[in-house]
Amino acid sequence: GESVGLHLPTLSVQEGDNSIINCAYSNSASDYFIWYKQESGKGPQFIIDIRSNMDKRQGQRVTVLLNKTVKHLSLQIAATQPGDSAVYFCAEPSGGTSYGKLTFGQGTILTVHP
Amino acid sequence: GAVVSQHPSWVICKSGTSVKIECRSLDFQATTMFWYRQFPKQSLMLMATSNEGSKATYEQGVEKDKFLINHASLTLSTLTVTSAHPEDSSFYICSARPNYSNQPQHFGDGTRLSIL
């Protein structure tokens, strides 16, 4: 979803657990999504992206799942580490390109406890 | 590679002051850069798209006379918050889109602006 003055939801996990962060979108024509990680006091960092012709994409310790039927995507982080603590955003570039202007989702604060 | 630098990283100034924030792409050229604003515990909101050699495109509700954008070279865009007031206090983040590349935008580390 898109953020309009909402405060971010939070997720707390223990080190070593798997984390799942969710994102909903409203436009059924959306065909490209990016997940970003934002550490405190810094700008967003690219994590992984996915196009609508895929249901799943894997990276290093991260997996993104896309369910077009319910317009939902998730970011799964395996064996979560304290360094994963950050705010995670899904984002959609305009025009379905990798470089269009971004609309960010609400974001989720992930806290990993040692 | 693909580093975007913002300066200053933190600025505190009095109400009524104008503040300039710089966004530089250090190792690539960027015809297009973007400016975002982020309030505490909230998401990033796009303010404007900065285009080298032409006028910026502002998002709905963003005052172009309040937030002046200049993109005079392929590696530098500036955002000037004119006559800043406490409600302008926020985290301002820029991003740059590499020319001739399908890479996603690269973000700077933001500028925290506090208006007293």
| Consecutive 10-residue averages of pLDDT for chain A (114 residues) | 59 97 90 94 95 95 96 96 97 78 93 95
Better pLDDT: A71 or B103: A71
Sign, CA dihedral A45-B9-B34-B54, equals negative
Nearest to B23 by CA among B13, B34, B12, B31: B34
Measured between alpha carbons, how far is A8 from A105 in angstroms, rounded to an integer? 10
Q: Which amino acid is at A11?
A: L
User: Is the preceding omega at residue B8 within 30 degrees of 0, hence cis?
Assistant: yes
Tokens representing residue B80 in the block:
């000037």
Contact (CB<8Å) B107/A8: no
B1 has a pLDDT exceeding 70: no
Any idea what DSSP says for residue A58? Answer: E
Taking CA atoms, what residue in A is nearest to B93?
Answer: A43
The answer to whether B28 and B99 are in contact (CB under 8 A) is: yes
Contact (CB<8Å) A43/B4: yes
Instruction: Find the helix or strand (DSSP H, E) in which A27 lies.
Output: none
Tens digit of each residue's pLDDT (9 = 90 or more) over A20-39: 999 999 888 888 999 999 99
Residues in chain A closer than 8 A to B41 (CB atoms): 7-8, 109
Best probe of the A interface among B105, B111, B113, by most A CBs < 10 A, is B105
